[in-house]
Structure 1
Amino acid sequence: MELPINIFWLVLLALLVAIVASAVRMLYEYERGVVFRLGRFSSVKGPGLRFIIPGVDRLVKVSLRTVAMDVPPQDVITKDNVSVKVNAVIYFRVVGPEKALIEVENYLYATSQLAQTSLRSVLGQSELDDLLAHRDQINQHLQELLDRQTDPWGVKISNVEIKHVDLPSEMQRAMARQAEAERERRSKVIHAEGEFQASQRLADAAKIITGEQGALQLRFLQTLTEVATEKNSTIIFPVPIDLLRPFLEREDQKGK
């Protein structure tokens, strides 16, 4: 009679261990446990060892860590009728664990689909130049739009970043030609500005030279000095009559 009694106690002990094991749940610091009691929402439990009623309670773990989700490349037609392919990445986390389970069936899939449709919608209302030059503003607009739509799900969109804009090859060539033309225009403007400033300086120098007696002769002699340093060339320079006038006047006085 002792053997069946021992088996009974062993079975009872194993049953108690199984019940206790099913009643204990361990939650990490980044997790929250949403408890449903008889199918109805009961409470949200924090990290640590948590106990539930086996067969009555059901605990579902929800991670509160930030999720980085890639948005697959989307074919978008911009406001100025340019077809581009754009991909992005969104950063979000759960702030309401009970809403993430009750209000939406699969918050990860729902957030991904919402990001794709919102990306096409927002970029379809923007021109290509704005998409390339004002990407920060578009990212901010996308973040606010997604955050407002996911708020009922208990999901917080912290950031949206457009990663890559794939332009058609003909559009890339057109933009390259436009950039080259813009650089050439700037070069011509800078050159013309330099010529204008140089002409102003030359005009000022001419006024000074013509206003001072003997300045032209000094400039002429300075030029001759500079030319004389070249040993491999012979230059015939006309001598201004003003330089010879003192000698001619002296000869005329001697003749008289």
Structure 2
Amino acid sequence: MIGPLGTLLAVLALIIFFFGIRIVRPTHRGTVERLGKYKRLAEPGFNWIIPVIDHIYLINVTEQMVDAQPQEIITNDNLNARVDAQIYFRVKSDEESIKNAQYNVQNYQVQIVNLARTTLRNIIGTLTLKSANSERNKINTELLTILGKETKDWGMDIVRAELKEIDPPKDVQETMNKVVKAENEKVAALDFANAV
């Protein structure tokens, strides 16, 4: 027969057990730290940790997107272009990569944005505005390659990098529109003259 002390211990053990349950979704992996030191990888499914002593940090392993945020970049022909890009990445799901993403870089999403912005300044700064607009695929490929090399120790794959926009300053845009309009009017006048 279980006495009051046995019942109390059983209830206490049950409470500790339930407070230690952690469910990791298939889209995540976790690092379990015991008293601040890495202990193990938490795989998807049921995981149990010792309450108060252990702590679990979840890391998303699905493809994610960060916006490199619009910035003004001076092109090779001394024009300010407003440039924006999106970077798609995913943290690899193996234990070493999860540890690298957690411990080798602080806030990897912010670091990817900063690295992408710096890389874009370096790439587009060597191009004219016209060539930057016409060579978007080349810029995307170069950005992807550089980001992949720089983030290889972070435990992640840069899946793709895409320029969203390369916009010239407003006054340059207006001038470009006037040139296009004048060329269209010239073609229309030539067509009209040839028709008569």
- Shorter-chain TM-score tier: 0.7 to 0.9
- Residue 10 of structure 1 and its aligned partner are, at CA, apart by 4.9
Instruction: Provide the secondary structure at the position in 2 that maps to 1:140.
Output: helix
The answer as to 2:137 corresponding to 1:140 is: no
Give the percent of matched residue pairs that are identical in Structure 1 and Structure 2: 32
- Residue 188 of structure 1 and its aligned partner are, at CA, apart by 9.8
Instruction: Provide the secondary structure at the position in 2 that maps to 1:139.
Output: helix
- Residue 185 of structure 1 and its aligned partner are, at CA, apart by 7.9
Match of 1:19 in 2: 16
Match of 2:122 in 1: 121
- Residue 174 of structure 1 and its aligned partner are, at CA, apart by 3.1
- Residue 13 of structure 1 and its aligned partner are, at CA, apart by 3.1
For the structure 1 residues 82 and 112, does the alpha-carbon distance in structure 2 shift closer, same or farther, using more than 3 Å as the test? Answer: same
TM-score where L is the length of structure 2? 0.81
Judge conservation of contact 2:91–2:101 (CA < 8 Å) in 1.
Answer: yes
Alpha-carbon distance in structure 1 between the residues aligned to 2:113 and 2:7: 51
Alpha-carbon distance in structure 2 between the residues aligned to 1:17 and 1:118: 54
Per-residue deviation, residues 55-105 of structure 1 (Å, max 9, x unmatched): 554322111011111121111001111111111111111112110111012
For the structure 1 residues 116 and 11, does the alpha-carbon distance in structure 2 shift closer, same or farther, using more than 3 Å as the test? Answer: farther
Q: How many residues align?
A: 189
Match of 1:44 in 2: 41
Match of 1:93 in 2: 90
Judge conservation of contact 2:129–2:168 (CA < 8 Å) in 1.
Answer: no
Alpha-carbon distance in structure 2 between the residues aligned to 1:180 and 1:28: 56
Alpha-carbon distance in structure 2 between the residues aligned to 1:152 and 1:139: 21
Match of 1:209 in 2: none
The structure with the greater share of residues assigned to strand is 2
The structure with the greater share of residues assigned to helix is 1
Per-residue deviation, residues 33-55 of structure 1 (Å, max 9, x unmatched): 22234443333232111233445
For the structure 1 residues 11 and 110, does the alpha-carbon distance in structure 2 shift closer, same or farther, using more than 3 Å as the test? Answer: farther
Amino acid at match of 2:173: Q
Judge conservation of contact 2:141–2:161 (CA < 8 Å) in 1.
Answer: yes
What pairs up with 1:72-221 in 2 under 5 angstroms?
A: 72-95=69-92, 96-179=97-180
For the structure 1 residues 187 and 69, does the alpha-carbon distance in structure 2 shift closer, same or farther, using more than 3 Å as the test? Answer: same
In terms of Rg, which structure is larger? 1
Amino acid at match of 2:80: S
Alpha-carbon distance in structure 2 between the residues aligned to 1:166 and 1:133: 12
Amino acid at match of 1:174: T
Per-residue deviation, residues 128-160 of structure 1 (Å, max 9, x unmatched): 112111101101111111111111111211111
Alpha-carbon distance in structure 1 between the residues aligned to 2:49 and 2:174: 65
- Residue 20 of structure 1 and its aligned partner are, at CA, apart by 1.0
TM-score where L is the length of structure 1? 0.64
Amino acid at match of 1:129: K
